[in-house]
């Protein structure tokens, strides 16, 4: 069996030795043999093509966890998964292009308000909440699913109107540099708040003060990141024009479902910034 040292294998696959050590640690591409005396790693010829495949997938920014699953799949199945991954990547690229053009237009002073901004009054209300530090969109989705799961186990009717709709609060950016936090909230009847909260011990009961919100309606279905950014820019521009300031209650996405509510209902989304008095 022909063997390659880690240096030789690195040159043949264009994977750095650092990457090869990482892939070994993750169990993604362990060496064929490790010398017990000196710890040197050796690879065999049958590992060349899997290594090159990993290199190509990494050039496409496929996450390592997904690569691990892909290389275990039948080729046709892997092709379908990669097709879906690339379609999502192209959609994300288009989204980022839109955001980049928005930022360029703002820097040139060409864009002010892109969405219509309205205001509404929110009364004081009792909320059941789940708050967490997260650093990516997948973690936000996971938090939302966990939150919804509590009410699937113990169903409870939603309050009426947008002031009674569930919402997600961002107290900070969610990315590699910032971990929010974010908080899922659901308004509940104030006169029954403590009794209801005892049924959901994993959730936190708190009171939110009455306030006014500046709002952009995003319509039904999911909006892209660029659309959220443009909605936020519209609210900021509106606030500057009307000399209004934001409170410290955190920006939020409101998920309102019109009655009659079914499992097929699609939420109407609002992007809301609480305003200071």
Give the per-residue pLDDT at 270: 96
**Which CATH fold would you assign to the domain 3-70?**
Multidrug-efflux Transporter Regulator; Chain: A; Domain 2 (1.10.1660)
The CATH number given to 118-275 is 3.20.80.10
Q: In 3D, which of 25, 204, 54, 38 has the Cα closest to residue 130? A: 204
Q: In 3D, which of 131, 84, 88, 66 has the Cα closest to residue 224? A: 88
List the chain domain ranges. 3-70, 118-275
Q: At what angle do helices 6-13 and 17-25 cross, to 10 degrees?
A: 100
Whole-model pTM?
0.65
Query: Hey, what are 193's tokens?
Result: 């708040």
Question: How far apart (Å, rounded) are the C-alpha atoms in residues 7 and 22?
Answer: 15
Buried b (16+ CB within 10 A) or exposed e, 258-273: eeeeeeeeebbbbbbb
Q: Determine contact, residues 62/70, Cβ cutoff 8 Å.
A: yes
Question: How far apart (Å, rounded) are the C-alpha atoms in residues 124 and 28?
Answer: 53
- The pLDDT averaged over each successive group of 10 residues in the chain (277 residues) is 84 88 90 88 90 88 86 88 87 74 74 80 97 90 94 90 95 86 96 96 96 94 79 88 92 91 85 94
Residue 174 DSSP label: E
How far CA 241 is from CA of 57, 236, 238, in Å, comes to: 48, 9, 5
Q: Which residue has the tokens 């908080």?
A: 183
């Amino acid at each position: 069996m022909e063997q390659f040292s880690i240096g030789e294998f690195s040159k043949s696959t264009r994977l750095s030795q650092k990457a090869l050590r990482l892939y070994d640690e993750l169990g993604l591409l362990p060496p064929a043999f490790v010398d017990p005396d000196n710890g040197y790693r050796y690879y065999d010829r049958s590992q060349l093509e899997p290594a090159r495949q990993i290199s190509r997938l990494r050039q496409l920014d496929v996450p390592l966890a997904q690569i691990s699953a892909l290389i275990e799949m039948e080729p046709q199945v892997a092709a379908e998964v990669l097709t879906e991954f690339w379609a999502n990547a192209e959609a994300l690229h288009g989204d980022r292009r839109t955001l980049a053009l928005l930022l360029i237009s703002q820097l040139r002073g060409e864009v002010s308000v892109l969405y219509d901004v309205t205001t509404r009054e929110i009364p004081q209300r009792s909320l059941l909440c789940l708050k967490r530090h997260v650093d990516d969109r997948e973690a936000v989705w996971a938090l939302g699913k966990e939150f919804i799961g509590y009410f699937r186990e113990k169903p409870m009717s939603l309050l009426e109107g947008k002031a009674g709709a569930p919402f997600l609060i961002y107290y900070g950016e969610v990315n590699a540099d910032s971990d929010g936090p974010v908080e899922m909230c659901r308004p509940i009847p104030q006169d029954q708040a403590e009794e209801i909260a005892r049924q959901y011990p994993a959730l936190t009961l708190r009171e939110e003060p009455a306030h006014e919100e500046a709002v952009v309606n995003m319509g039904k279905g999911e909006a892209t990141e660029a659309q959220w950014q443009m909605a936020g820019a519209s609210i900021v521009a509106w606030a500057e024009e009307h000399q209004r300031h934001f409170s410290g209650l955190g920006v939020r996405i409101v998920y309102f479902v019109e009655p009659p509510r079914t499992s097929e209902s699609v939420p109407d989304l609002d992007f809301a910034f609480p305003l200071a008095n």
